[in-house]
Structure 1
Amino acid sequence: MSRLTADQRYLWNEGTDYQCYTWMGAQTTPTGTWFRVWAPNADAVAVMGDFNDWSSEAHPMRDAGGGLWEVHIRSAQPGARYKYRLNANGEALDRTDPFAFALEPPAENTYEGIASIIVDLDDYTWADTDWMADRSGPDSLNEPISIYELHLGSWRHQAPGESYSYRDIAEPLAEYVTEMGYTHIELMPVAEHPYYGSWGYQTLGYYAPTFRYGSPQDFMHFVDTMHQHGIGVLMDWVPAHFATDPQGLTYFDGTHLFAYDDPQMRHHPDWGTYVFDYGRNGVRNFLIGNALFWLDYYHIDGLRVDAVASMLYRDYSRGTNWTPNEHGGRENLEAIRLLRDTNTQVYKHFPDAITIAEESTAFPGVTKPVDHGGLGFLYKWNMGWMNDTLEYIEKEPIHRKYHHGDFTWTLSWAFSEQFMLPFSHDEVVHGKESMWGKMPGDDWQKAANLRVLYTHQYGHPGKVLSFMGNEFGQHHEWNHDESIEWHLQDKPLHAGIQQWVADLNALYRSRPALWNDDRDSFQWIHYGDREQSVLSYLRRHDDQVLVFVLNMTPVARTDYRVGLPHAGMWTERLNSDADVYGGSGVGNAGRVKATENPYLGQPASASIVVPPLGALILSPKDQADCDATPKTPAG
């Protein structure tokens, strides 16, 4: 590596140097370290560190043009701490490196005075070659995706209040995720963040995995371990806003370099953070480069982009305090361009990766290709499905017949985007109660409600995502300072929910009918039985068929007629009311006989027992034989 080239300077100034992470920041070489920083409004910049006794005069940086500064320091080696001293408008400003690959732990819980750390990111030998060669990217649209979302610091503690490190958590987490049948994990943000209670969403060091769980190489080991177990790793990425701590990006070179100059647009009203100026070329390089960086150096399989809705609209949560775009509208045109360009570059450089939008509005074409006018994401969280489904299931069963449409009408837009169905961390915090706490009734009814709810999540079109603790019915809201409630696994009702989720995952992964989400894959059998609060639908792919029957009340429905695609013997593939799941053991003895008696548009039908607050999944007997032994009541 040598001095900045004319091509690098040109691409940076143009806002199209998306591999800037390979030469910005502190880049190690056999002869020392090159330092480069963007500070166009500084009068002078110097590097201070362990290697020069923190002198602000020993290593002044050269103005390389385009607002970029650089210097090569032979004595600066991996592991050394450093900062930039910027002189601007007569003021001396000490800053961490925006491109730092690691930041030191703060002293006494304050980030004031922290330093960046020189890291050689090539100092790790990966063992996931097979995984990287075979991962699916956009082909995952035709594959099962069941995601386990987690917060690394509170999944499991080694001792009270003591989180696992990246290395220590890797193997037990991989084993658990494999046992439960999930295909991917999704990590809440791991980029460096000063306030632990922000869960990583108020980012300070965009290029640095947080020190809390170990080093950059430790995080590489974590991802590597997941891949060697056949588990994809998705990561939350937060370009919507950044932390205001003075050591970071705030007022970086004596100006609001990374944020909007416009004070009405600079502050994010929801989180007290700053908003990036997405139209500034240096910011574009920084953010798009950051997305590619995690996919490149850390082998991340995909990015879930946080708070996309807040990026798309200039008036988001602002009331009347916002500035229109150049055409007088509310759309944030620069942010829209940045999202499109980010997706374009991700799929250009990493065609086997995926991007996911957390987007809660009706903005059109979130998962439509960029060259067809869309934003270019592969998936979008179906927030409407989540909200309406939870609003329905939280009601007492006696009242559900009056709100039947809240549960069924989500199919009217189920194919308008390429959706994921999330029960995420956002649904179990801030007074919303845990998934267990949302359910009405006594403990038995809460568990039964969760089992039937999760069944519908797997039966409804869309990929699946659930937050840690949901899978066994955690009692309390998630608390980032505590481990999730693993002791509940010893209680039969909670162990039953956990086993139900594992069996749903196993069935889901084995049946293309559940994850090939074209319009013909779903068909209602009967959605109008509001009086009994029973729903039935089928999922199909080629000759494969699964029939779902859901009873949303605690009253068993005996001699209940359900339409079926053909006559013959059907297997009760899964029954959520089976004893092994903590149910009451009501069912059909594992099989159902359909006769050539047309019913509700289906050519055949059967009279069945639908268990209380129960879900049945039926399959033709000849298709059931290829699966594991079904979990169903004996009689």
Structure 2
Amino acid sequence: MTGIDETFATKAAQSSGTPRPAEVPPSAPKSAPQADEGRTVHKDAIAAVMAANHGDAFAVLGPHQVGPKAWEVRAVLPEAKGATLLVGDARIAFERRHPDGFFVAKVPSEGRPLYEIEVETWDGAKQRRHDPFSFGSSLEQHDVNALREVGTNVVYRVLGAQAGKLDGVDGFRFAVWAPNAKRVSVVGEFNDWDGRRHPMRLWRDGGIWELFVPGLKAGATYKYEVRGPDGGLLPLKADPVAFAAQQPPETASVLHGLGEPAWRDAAWMEGRGRKDPRHAAISIYEVHLGSWARVPDEGNRYLTYKEFAARLVPYVKEMGFTHIELLPITEHPFDGSWGYQPVSLFAPTSRFGPPDDFVHFVNAAHEAGIGVMLDWVPGHFPLDAHGLGQFDGTHLYEHADPRQGFHQDWGTYIYNFGRTEVSTFLAANARFWLEHYHLDGLRVDAVASMLYLDYSRRAGEWIPNQYGGNENLDAIHFLRKTNEATYSHAPGTITVAEESTSWPGVSHPTYTGGLGFGFKWNMGWMHDTLQFISKEPIHRRYHHHDLTFGLLYAFSENFILPLSHDEVVHGKGSMLGKMPGDRWQKFANLRAYYGFMWGHPGKKLLFMGGEFGQEREWNHNQSLDWHLLDDPQHRGVKDVIRDLNHLYASTPALHSRDVEAGGFQWLVADDQDNSVIAWARKGKQPNEIAIVVSNFTPVPREGYRIGVPAPGFYREAFNSDAEGYGGTNVGNMGGLHAEANESHGQAQSLCLRLPPLATMIFVLDAA
């Protein structure tokens, strides 16, 4: 496999002779005569090259043997007043064969000549350069073949713009999949965006166009100029495997070369591979980097990746979250998509700095003991002209039939998962973020839209599968192969499905028929419990089942409980805004609900701003309202989340058996009249017990007895009604001893004071 930032293996030695036929990739059909009786270049071939309409420029340009010991070197140099061929100590003048800059130099040589070109520009400057068309192909057949193997990482090792050396010369090797194109050229600042200058070579059997361009440096912008199968020019295309991109609204790809980042997280990476996330405390802080905080004194600009490392990471550490989950940072044109309509899947968005600065951010998080996850969008992509749509003039990445290839809700294209190269591209992208950027998990967006052919479609607007069903069999295969690849090659990472239906086995292994995700968002829990908590307390007795229903299926999947960005947009209001009652009751309800959530089985996810009771609905165009922390009530909510996170992580009973039914026991499930609910959480050891009790009415309750599964002292480890949080300080004096008084089917019980609109968590102190 060709290495990155290493020496490319040339397929055609330049020391002598012409490339052997077996070493030259199958080429595109020739669109014009190539030579006059094999001796020199034909005028029609010159015209086709100068019109940027030749499908096999390597058959015309570069060194060509035209007779015994006779060679011609041909070059397109529109910027040249004149040019000289430099062969050893010899200087041979080029002859202009076309007024727009087609040059030919004749070279007496027994073998393939080694040369450079000296160009004299119209302003009199002289430039010495290597000729891209003097180099052989640097691709390997096994790499081209591997681009059809779903799960391989060859896509980002071979395609895109790879920095390296070819025959000892520094430059960038470009490679792009465009099997139906008549011609593809690399264009950019370095060639005045002129498609005649750097047309590429085609590997016909893989549909890969490639070209080594010597002398290029990182930071230059580029795109691909593509002539479609009908001969028409397409809008300039960004590189699908670009590793960096311009900041929108600019749309060019940027040479970066990938290379090996400067990592400082060896200890984290080694420890990650030994973890079993299902039994670990996972508390995720979901972040939209563009609106977490801005710099108002500097035009309300974004923070940079380095500033996030200095500000966001310590904040998350203080708050006790275990992971940061980033809304998509893959480069995207439109701010209002929040990143969910990406164009360059391999490029961290330049809004916050270059890729190397993103590495710095990940390093800082890992050094602080915090994992980094990414919202990943393999289900659809936008229609932007420079993107993947109709990439080579055909429906290459997307289905041609809009009943399969167009998403009506979002106005986007849907990937054709049945095309192996497309699934390979996407699966490699998943591996890329976990392996190259050391990310610790992917939350896969809109999985339901991928699984169902009739998702958000009426009868007649979708095409059944081969068995007549609505399951997208190609997407299912893709998801399984991707999960198998990520878990095989990035141990200790997790994949999470945002899947809103009752599809079975989403987080079950593929060998049991599951989709292979590590976790699934529990959308039903989120919907039901938010519906309950938004009711006035006097009405909650009629909706008690919204609290309890989730426990009927809580262990059918490995669940994450999400209070995500989706719940605080589009008129839904903020988390605090969902709470009923006066101001005090709103905050009490929110604190109680968070306590209920952190005590409930399932990993945790909270969108930014929810941790301090943001009052207004989230707006992606402005910073969170950090000034609210001057208010004691908002500080109290922040302290609740901080303390819950630290309690959750330090209490095995609250996390070590999250996904096991044996780690949960109902204590009080049926007291709808008082809106009281209680359960026990159990760890792997007999004495690892936590009791969670919630009172969702504004009425304090004295002498409320609940049964507990073991004798001992139950320390009141958390009380959302504590005075320090803004509550009334009704509690149990730090804890109680269980009494030998039977209740709720248990031989031991606690007689509690239940504070109003509050959740308490008691932890059994080990003897």
Q: Please report the TM-score for the alignment, with normalisation by the length of structure 1.
A: 0.95
Counterparts of 1:528-543 in structure 2, within 5 Å, are 528-541=670-683, 542=685, 543=687
CA offset digits 1:541-569 (Å, max 9, x no partner): 12111111110000001121121224454
Partner of 1:295: 434
State the distance in 1 between where 2:667 and 2:621 align.
46
Partner of 1:26: 161
Counterparts of 1:32-181 in structure 2, within 5 Å, are 32-65=171-204, 66-88=206-228, 89-93=230-234, 94-106=236-248, 109=249, 111=250, 114-122=251-259, 124-136=261-273, 139-159=276-296, 161-181=300-320
Partner of 1:305: 444
State the distance in 2 between where 1:511 and 1:447 align.
26
**5+ residue gaps in structure 2?**
1-7, 10-137
State the distance in 2 between where 1:572 and 1:75 align.
68
Q: Indicate whether 1:601 and 2:742 are aligned.
A: no
Which has the higher mean CA deviation after the structures are superposed, 90-99 or 49-58?
49-58
CA offset digits 1:178-232 (Å, max 9, x no partner): 1100111100000001110100000111111111111011111111111111100
Partner of 1:632: none
Counterparts of 1:118-517 in structure 2, within 5 Å, are 118-122=255-259, 124-136=261-273, 139-159=276-296, 161-320=300-459, 321-515=461-655, 516-517=657-658
State the distance in 1 between where 2:326 and 2:388 align.
24
State the distance in 2 between where 1:388 and 1:341 align.
33
State the distance in 1 between where 2:432 and 2:548 align.
41
State the distance in 2 between where 1:21 and 1:75 align.
22
Shift of 1:151: 0.4
SS, match of residue 291 in structure 2: coil
Question: Which amino acid is 1:91 matched to?
Answer: G
Q: Indicate whether 1:550 and 2:687 are aligned.
A: no
Q: Structure 1 residues 622 and 281 mapped into 2: Cα distance closer, same or farther (>3 Å)? A: closer
Tell me, yes or no, if the aligned pair for 1:51 and 1:75 is still in contact at 8 Å: no
Question: Which amino acid is 2:139 matched to?
Answer: L
Tell me, yes or no, if the aligned pair for 1:451 and 1:500 is still in contact at 8 Å: yes
Tell me, yes or no, if the aligned pair for 2:272 and 2:491 is still in contact at 8 Å: no
Q: Structure 1 residues 51 and 190 mapped into 2: Cα distance closer, same or farther (>3 Å)? A: same
State the distance in 2 between where 1:15 and 1:406 align.
42
Question: Which amino acid is 2:199 matched to?
Answer: P
Q: Indicate whether 1:611 and 2:751 are aligned.
A: no
Q: Structure 1 residues 433 and 154 mapped into 2: Cα distance closer, same or farther (>3 Å)? A: same
SS, match of residue 388 in structure 1: helix
**5+ residue gaps in structure 1?**
624-635
CA offset digits 1:73-130 (Å, max 9, x no partner): 1022211111111111121122111111111124xx4x5xx32111022263111111
Percent pairwise identity: 51
Shift of 1:12: 2.1
Shift of 1:424: 0.5
State the distance in 1 between where 2:260 and 2:698 align.
59
Question: Which amino acid is 1:145 matched to?
Answer: I
Tell me, yes or no, if the aligned pair for 1:95 and 1:247 is still in contact at 8 Å: yes
State the distance in 2 between where 1:384 and 1:360 align.
7
Question: Which amino acid is 1:582 matched to?
Answer: G
State the distance in 2 between where 1:500 and 1:126 align.
34
Question: Which amino acid is 2:667 matched to?
Answer: I
Tell me, yes or no, if the aligned pair for 1:380 and 1:420 is still in contact at 8 Å: yes
Q: Indicate whether 1:578 and 2:718 are aligned.
A: no
State the distance in 1 between where 2:602 and 2:456 align.
29
Q: Structure 1 residues 575 and 342 mapped into 2: Cα distance closer, same or farther (>3 Å)? A: same
Shift of 1:19: 2.3
Question: Which amino acid is 1:39 matched to?
Answer: A
Q: Indicate whether 1:8 and 2:143 are aligned.
A: yes
| Residues paired across the two proteins, number | 618
Q: Structure 1 residues 580 and 9 mapped into 2: Cα distance closer, same or farther (>3 Å)? A: same
Shift of 1:580: 0.3
Q: Structure 1 residues 82 and 611 mapped into 2: Cα distance closer, same or farther (>3 Å)? A: same
CA offset digits 1:117-156 (Å, max 9, x no partner): 1102226311111111111576011111011000011111
State the distance in 2 between where 1:61 and 1:15 align.
26
Shift of 1:57: 1.1
SS, match of residue 736 in structure 2: strand
Query: Equivalent of 1:564, from 693, 696, 708?
Result: 708
Shift of 1:236: 0.5
Question: Which amino acid is 2:462 matched to?
Answer: W
Tell me, yes or no, if the aligned pair for 1:137 and 1:353 is still in contact at 8 Å: no
Tell me, yes or no, if the aligned pair for 1:566 and 1:596 is still in contact at 8 Å: no
Tell me, yes or no, if the aligned pair for 2:332 and 2:339 is still in contact at 8 Å: yes
Shift of 1:48: 1.2
Higher RCO (CA-CA < 8 Å; seq separation 6+): 1
State the distance in 2 between where 1:351 and 1:435 align.
35
CA offset digits 1:496-538 (Å, max 9, x no partner): 1111111111110011111122211110111111111111111
Q: Structure 1 residues 10 and 527 mapped into 2: Cα distance closer, same or farther (>3 Å)? A: same
Q: Structure 1 residues 172 and 364 mapped into 2: Cα distance closer, same or farther (>3 Å)? A: same
State the distance in 2 between where 1:348 and 1:481 align.
39
Which has the higher mean CA deviation after the structures are superposed, 238-247 or 51-60?
51-60
Tell me, yes or no, if the aligned pair for 2:338 and 2:620 is still in contact at 8 Å: yes
Which has the higher mean CA deviation after the structures are superposed, 89-98 or 360-369?
89-98
Question: Which amino acid is 2:741 matched to?
Answer: N
Shift of 1:13: 4.1
Question: Which amino acid is 1:586 matched to?
Answer: V
Shift of 1:165: 0.7
Tell me, yes or no, if the aligned pair for 1:513 and 1:539 is still in contact at 8 Å: yes
SS, match of residue 270 in structure 1: coil
State the distance in 2 between where 1:376 and 1:17 align.
17
Question: Which amino acid is 1:551 matched to?
Answer: N
Partner of 1:520: 662
Which has the higher mean CA deviation after the structures are superposed, 271-280 or 259-268?
259-268
Which has the higher mean CA deviation after the structures are superposed, 581-590 or 390-399?
581-590
SS, match of residue 276 in structure 2: helix
Larger Rg: 2
CA offset digits 1:578-623 (Å, max 9, x no partner): 1001001111222224321101111112322100001121223447
State the distance in 2 between where 1:13 and 1:600 align.
60
Partner of 2:132: none
Partner of 1:626: none
CA offset digits 1:377-399 (Å, max 9, x no partner): 00000001110010111000000
Question: Which amino acid is 1:130 matched to?
Answer: A
CA offset digits 1:383-416 (Å, max 9, x no partner): 0111001011100000000111111111000000
SS, match of residue 95 in structure 1: coil
Q: Please report the TM-score for the alignment, with normalisation by the length of structure 2.
A: 0.79
Partner of 2:44: none
Question: Which amino acid is 2:240 matched to?
Answer: P
CA offset digits 1:335-358 (Å, max 9, x no partner): 000000000111111122111111
